[in-house]
Amino acid sequence: MELFNLSNKRALVTGGTHGLGMAMAEGLANAGAELVITGTTPSKMEKALSYYKDKGFKATGYLFDVTNEEEAKKNLDLITKELGDIHILVNNAGIIKRELAITMPVEDFRRVIDVDLVGPFIMSQLVVKQMIERKEGKIINICSMMSELGRSTVSAYAAAKGGLKMLTQNLATEWAKYNIQVNGIGPGYFATSQTEPIRVDGHPFNDFIINRTPASRWGDPKDLQGAAIFLASKASDFVNGQVIYVDGGILATIGKPSNED
């Protein structure tokens, strides 16, 4: 299992205070990584750090907005000074605003692009400098099925996540010569607190997801941990510019007829 051992590695997970980011951070910590968590809400950060520490993980939190280049640089310098280099960067922080394209305020469109695409660029650009010096590093961008598909009311999110897929490929192209691997994870539909209201039997969207997913279920956040550990570890040293879709098979099929068992 040495290929997947993350002992003596420090992983920075943006937006690792809740949801899928927390699940992936927990997976990395279980594999031996020290956690550095970023967020913007003090109460969520306090709760997350308490959770990690109750699990016996070494975890430190820093509050800043990844879209603010000056604040991001200031905090990364502080992290490096207080803890040391970052070996693994997980660009997970993201937002979504659901609105029809024809009525979506341009300000909202720009904000989604800023958080979901510009933020990962800022963080990658800052962290990669120390990775280049070491000739080693892992960057994992959290993409989406919307990196490949469109859907009503998520034009800004899909544009950002499609851009993040291409950013992943371009950064991999530029930085592979320094022994840095840049890859992505594309989650499908997962059982989180945000989806809880629509994950009830009989709800149209719940039925749609169950029927549309070959695995016939919502993803458990822990289903993302294997992909995260793989892309953060030596096991993926010759994997670069790829997006691993953890979606229960949705992208592999056009769906099944309603009368199919």
Is the pLDDT confidence value at 257 over 70?
A: no
Which pLDDT value is given to residue 140?
A: 99
Question: Which pLDDT belongs to residue 106?
Answer: 98
- Residue 214 forms part of a structural domain: no
**SS3 at position 14:** strand
Mean pLDDT of the chain: 96
Q: What is the average per-residue pLDDT within 246-256?
A: 91
Classified as helix, coil or strand, 61 is strand
3-class DSSP assignment, residue 65: coil
CA nearest 121: which of 181, 178, 166, 86?
Answer: 166
Residue with tokens 């994992």: 140
pLDDT digits (tens, 9 = 90+) for 1-47: 899 999 999 999 999 999 999 999 999 999 999 999 999 999 999 99
Of residues 162, 132, 137, 142, the one with CA closest to residue 236? 137
- Could you tell me whether strands 10-14 and 59-63 are parallel, antiparallel, or unpaired per DSSP bridges? unpaired
Residue 260 in this model has a pLDDT that exceeds 70: no
Residue 185 lies in a domain: yes
Mean pLDDT of the 158-181 span: 98
| Domain annotation covers residue 55 | yes
Count of domains in the chain? 1
Q: How much is the pLDDT for 1?
A: 84
Per-residue model confidence as pLDDT tens digits over 181-228: 999 999 999 998 878 888 988 899 899 999 999 999 999 999 999 999
Residue 200 falls inside a structural domain: no
CATH number for the domain that contains residue 225: 3.40.50.720
- Within-domain flag for 205: no
Task: Report the alpha-carbon distance of residue 181 to residue 170 in Å, rounded.
Answer: 11
Domain assignment of residue 140, given as a range = 2-191+219-249
Residue 258 has pLDDT above 80, yes or no: no
197 domain residue, yes or no: no
Q: Which residues contact 72 (CB under 8 A, 6 or more apart)?
A: 64, 65, 66, 122, 123, 126
Q: Annotated catalytic sites, by residue?
A: 157
Q: What is the DSSP string of 190-201?
A: B--TTTGGG-ST
Asked whether the predicted pLDDT for residue 242 surpasses 90, the reply is yes
Q: What percent of the chain has pLDDT over 90?
A: 91
Q: Please check whether residue 210 lies inside any domain of the structure.
A: no
Would residue 21 count as lying in a domain? yes
